[in-house]
Chain A
Amino acid sequence: MTDAAVQDATRVAPASPHDFQPPGFVRQVTTMVWRSLKHIKRQPEMLTDVTIQPVMFVLLFAFVFGGSIVIPGFNYREWLMPGIMAQTMAFSAFIVAIGLNMDLGKGIIDRFRSLPISRGSVLVGRSIYSIIHSSIGIFVMSLTGLAIGWRIHNGVGKALLAFGLLLLFGFAMIWVGILVGSSMRSPEAVNGLMFTTIFPVTFLANTFAPTVGMASWLRTIAEWNPISALVQAMRELWGNGPPALPDAALPLHYPVITTVIWSVAITAVMAPLAVRAFIRRTTD
């Protein structure tokens, strides 16, 4: 062996995959999250759905509808904030679905699958990213809310509990996103489906207007909507709204525990379906 060859060999050898253990799951996931965060850096406009859009909603609802919706004893602008935050968190399903679907449509998913890593790291990475993505939105909205008079009235503990419920609900919605992202053939299809389902669902609730004014059958649907429980819980925990009316549906009387139950139930139903859809999509 020549000197050059020896040098060359020692230069190349340490990188052999046989000399290193494949990365642990945590490193796989953090790498996937890192990749998604880099995407934001390259395309900051990806964040408009959790920044400009909800802020616009806050301002539109607060100033356009704010005058005509009266919440006895409370300020509509404060009452509105938990609604918009819950809507934003529901959209995390959207984010994970689009991101996953775009990955699945490209050759890069094959490359990931040809690596000594778990397929699950793609899912978990996308999910964590989507929570980060939505949390940026929650942060931006909190600042906007503070600027237009939104306050938290009931102390740090309850405030954190409300944010915790918000994250828990976001976690449940991610499975919906994984299911949709793995099942649809194109990002456009994902967009179409999500816009015609999640979007109305977030309106058919107590998010922007009280359910009292709705037709009774519609009101029942709205009050059983998981989003209503979440919004009601946040309003009570932050002191932004009154307790449920005596004639409101059962979930709104126990909004915190209902939110937990809904989140667990959605996860329990959606997670197996989502994982199955993802495995099917990535197996041939």
Chain B
Amino acid sequence: MTLTSTAPSGRARSSGPAIEAEHLVKRFGDMTAVDDVSFSVPQGTVLGLLGPNGAGKTTTVRMMTTLSEPTSGTARVAGHDVVREPEAVRRSMGLTGQAATVDELLTGRENLRLMGSLYGLPKAAIRRLSDELLERFSLTDAGDKVIKDYSGGMRRRLDLAVSLIATPPVLFLDEPTTGLDPRSRVELWEVLRGLVRDGTTLLLTTQYLEEADQLADRIVVIDHGRIIAQGTPLELKDQSGKAAIVLTVSHADQLEAARALLAAHVPEVHVDVAARQLTAPADGLSDMTRVATVFERSEIVLDDLGLQRPSLDDVFLSLTGHRAEPPAGDGASSPSPTTSPGTPSEERQS
């Protein structure tokens, strides 16, 4: 098999990590924006760089994409050093920045042509790829419309399509869904999952814990320029403390009996009368199985019984002492809970 006939994942020359950062530091005057950040992203996986506004996410991405020179430390993209081989890095990666990085006065197709040309692709290839990308991002009908007339979601999709014109093996996305409504956000997630399935390595920054949870294989949490935690979403959740048993009683008049029964087996019970719901800390599945057995033998009828792991929101709170704040005034609503049945948050439910 030759290199040219393999999928994007097979194109990288080495089998090493697609993205590596080693002790990256960026100072602006007295301010240290990024402070000793190191991580590594294996090929074909997704790294979520999670943190609040001003945490240093964008600065980190700018260093990795050759837009900003590190004060110290090194970074490699597809095996190429970002400082010593910026040209090679630029040929190996695509970037979708935080601000709209498409030309508002051009049509979707013209934007694709612009970037295809600047990557040096032959005209015929640009035409063919543009058609494919427009179709893939459900923009075929909008291809000849000027971007000014695009909706926020369409613009984001085109922004992403433009990054893909040269099918880069590594893709950097800086807050790809900021400002999108929940539906567009979920649609974009689907597209990103498809890219990863095809072998693309993804680094995305986000302020949305849920987004990192949904998409990332590994998450790096940064705050004030420093890495404060990293791991898989599951590891991070485990790290932040206990899971909880949540049970919902069918009949309100059995709620007190249920509380008493549960209290006999666990140290602490929280009651939500309106929701007919009881919550108790648990160490894991064994605790829940024990509780399930107890209730099965009782007269109490349950609607639901489950183990609730802490959400990334809780993780963030326990790590930083403050909640991850959504960006103010960008019109983005917090992602709807229905889009992530896997990560309910107690706060949202109550």
Chain A residues engaging chain B, CB cutoff 8 angstroms: 5-6, 8-23, 27-28, 31, 34-35, 38-39, 42-43, 106-108, 110-117, 283-284
B147 to chain A: closest residue by CB: A42
Q: Is the CB of A8 within 8 A of B198?
A: yes
Residues B101-149 near A (CB distance < 8 A): 101-103, 105-106, 110, 114-115, 117-122, 125, 129, 132, 146
Please tell me which one of the listed residues A5, A107, A117 contacts residue B100 in the complex, with CB atoms under 8 A apart: A107
Residues B144-184 near A (CB distance < 8 A): 146, 162, 165-168
- Complex contacts, B28 vs chain A, CB 8 Å: 284
A16 to B132, CA, bound (A): 15
Known: A114-B66, A114-B67. A15 touches B121 (CB 8 A): yes
Known: A9-B7, A31-B118, A42-B146. A116 touches B125 (CB 8 A): no
Main secondary structure of the interface of A (DSSP, over half): helix
A28 to B101, CA, bound (A): 18
A34 to B6, CA, bound (A): 34
- Complex contacts, A6 vs chain B, CB 8 Å: 5
Q: Is the CB of B106 within 8 A of A35?
A: yes
Query: B220 on the interface (CB 8 Å rule)?
Result: no
- Complex contacts, A39 vs chain B, CB 8 Å: 105-106
- Complex contacts, A11 vs chain B, CB 8 Å: 132
Shortest beta-carbon distance from A98 to chain B in Å: 14
Using A17-B168, A39-B106 as known contacts, list a sample of 5 further A-B pairs with CB atoms less than 8 Å apart, ordered by residue number in A. A15-B165, A23-B120, A27-B117, A42-B105, A110-B67
- For the complex of A and B, the 6 pairs showing the least CB-CB separation, nearest first, are A107-B99, A23-B120, A107-B101, A111-B101, A31-B117, A116-B90
B120 to chain A: closest residue by CB: A23
Query: B338 on the interface (CB 8 Å rule)?
Result: no
Query: B293 on the interface (CB 8 Å rule)?
Result: no
A134 to B117, CA, bound (A): 26
A31 to B121, CA, bound (A): 12
Known: A8-B7, A17-B168. A108 touches B120 (CB 8 A): no
Chain B residues engaging chain A, CB cutoff 8 angstroms: 3-8, 11, 28, 62, 65-69, 87, 90-95, 97-103, 105-106, 110, 114-115, 117-122, 125, 129, 132, 146, 162, 165-168, 198
Please tell me which one of the listed residues B69, B106, B166 contacts residue A38 in the complex, with CB atoms under 8 A apart: B106
Please tell me which one of the listed residues B98, B119, B165 contacts residue A22 in the complex, with CB atoms under 8 A apart: B119
Q: Is the CB of B119 within 8 A of A115?
A: yes
A31 to B92, CA, bound (A): 21
Q: Is the CB of A114 within 8 A of B8?
A: no
- Complex contacts, B115 vs chain A, CB 8 Å: 111, 115
- Complex contacts, A10 vs chain B, CB 8 Å: 5
Please name 25 pairs of A and B residues whose Cβ atoms are closer than 8 Å in the assembled complex, sorted by A: A8-B198, A9-B5, A12-B7, A13-B4, A13-B6, A13-B7, A15-B121, A16-B166, A17-B166, A20-B120, A20-B122, A38-B110, A39-B105, A42-B105, A42-B146, A107-B97, A107-B98, A107-B99, A108-B102, A111-B95, A111-B97, A111-B101, A114-B65, A115-B115, A116-B90
Q: Is the CB of A18 within 8 A of B11?
A: yes
Shortest beta-carbon distance from A54 to chain B in Å: 24
Q: Is the CB of B165 within 8 A of A106?
A: no
Q: Is the CB of B87 within 8 A of A116?
A: yes
- Complex contacts, A23 vs chain B, CB 8 Å: 117-120
A112 to B7, CA, bound (A): 26
Please tell me which one of the listed residues B4, B110, B146 contacts residue A16 in the complex, with CB atoms under 8 A apart: B4
A117 to B87, CA, bound (A): 8
Q: Is the CB of A106 within 8 A of B121?
A: no
Shortest beta-carbon distance from B175 to chain A in Å: 12
A46 to chain B: closest residue by CB: B105
Q: Is the CB of A13 within 8 A of B5?
A: yes
Please tell me which one of the listed residues A13, A20, A35 contacts residue B103 in the complex, with CB atoms under 8 A apart: A35
Q: Is the CB of B69 within 8 A of A116?
A: no
B117 to chain A: closest residue by CB: A31
A20 to chain B: closest residue by CB: B120
Shortest beta-carbon distance from B123 to chain A in Å: 11
Q: Is the CB of A17 within 8 A of B119?
A: yes
Q: Is the CB of A15 within 8 A of B110?
A: no
- Complex contacts, A35 vs chain B, CB 8 Å: 103, 106, 114
Q: Is the CB of A12 within 8 A of B167?
A: yes
Q: Is the CB of A19 within 8 A of B4?
A: yes
Q: Is the CB of A5 within 8 A of B119?
A: no
Q: Is the CB of B99 within 8 A of A114?
A: no
- Complex contacts, A111 vs chain B, CB 8 Å: 95, 97, 101-102, 115, 162
A115 to B65, CA, bound (A): 9
Q: Is the CB of A17 within 8 A of B92?
A: yes
Known: A8-B7, A22-B91, A114-B95. A15 touches B102 (CB 8 A): no
